[in-house]
Amino acid sequence: MPTYDAMLNTFATLFVTIDPVGLLPIFLAVTAGMKAAERRSVAIKSITIAFGLLIAFALAGSAILDTLGITIHSFKIAGGLLLFYIAFEMIFEKRQERHEKSSQKAMTKDDISNIAVFPMAIPMIAGPGAISATILLAENFGETWEGFGVLVLLIGAVMAVVLSVFLLAEYIDKVIGTTGRNILSRLMGVLLAALSVQFVVDGIKASL
C-alpha cells in the first residue's frame, strides 16, 4: 500500500499539472453562449475522455517506452524538464495565453459537440504534462494491482475536482476574479517547478 506522503505527492503533482483553476476561463470561453445543460454535458464528457486517456497511459505507458527503447529513468528526466517548462509558463502566464489561442481556434468550428474532445479533454486536461506525469507516477504505484488501484482513485479525485470547477465555473469566476486566478496559477506553478526538479534529480540518481 502506498504511503500517505506518496499519495499526497501524486495528487499534488497531477493537480498542479492539470491546473483546474487555470482551465476555468478557458472552459467559460469555449462554452460561451451554451445553455446550462449543454455546458454541463461538455464538462462531463471532457472529464470522462481525459480520465480514460490518463488511465490508458498509466497502464500502457511503460510498455510504450520499452518498445521505443527508452528507460524510465531517461523518461523521468525528460518528463521533469517538460513539467518544469509548464511550471515556467504558469508562473509567467505563457500557458494561459497558449490555452486561450487554442480555445479561440476551437470556437471557429460549427460542431460544438466536439469541444469536449478538443480542446477541453485534449490537450487542456490530458495534455503532454499530465500524460508525462501519469506515466512517471505509474512507475511508483503500478508494481501491484493495489497500488495501481490507488493511482486510479487519485486520478479520479483530481478529475472530480476539475469537474466541480467546470460545473461551478461561473460562480467561481465571479468570486475569485482575475487577480485570484493569477495568484493561484502562479502558486501552483511554483509547486510544480519544485516537483519537476525532484523528478529530474530522481532520474539522474537512478541513472548513475
| CB-based contacts of 179, cutoff 8 Å, min separation 6 | none
Whether the Cβ atoms of residue 54 and residue 130 lie closer than 8 Å to each other: yes
Residue 83 or residue 20, greater confidence: 20
d(CA 74, CA 70): 7
Q: Which three cell numbers stand for residue 139?
A: 512507475
- How is residue 142 annotated by DSSP? T
Whether the Cβ atoms of residue 40 and residue 167 lie closer than 8 Å to each other: yes
* Residue 142: per-residue pLDDT: 62
d(CA 146, CA 69): 27
CA atoms within 13 A on the CB side of 146: 3
* Residue 100: per-residue pLDDT: 52
pLDDT tens digits along 18-46: 988 878 877 877 776 778 888 898 999 99
**Domain spans in the chain, listed from the N-terminal domain onward:** 4-207
Q: Is the pLDDT of residue 94 over 70?
A: no
* Residue 195: per-residue pLDDT: 76
pLDDT tens digits along 114-171: 888 887 898 789 877 888 889 988 887 766 888 889 999 999 999 999 999 999 988 8
Whether the Cβ atoms of residue 207 and residue 74 lie closer than 8 Å to each other: yes
**Taking the complete model, does pTM exceed 0.85, yes or no?**
no
Written as one letter, the residue type at 135 is I
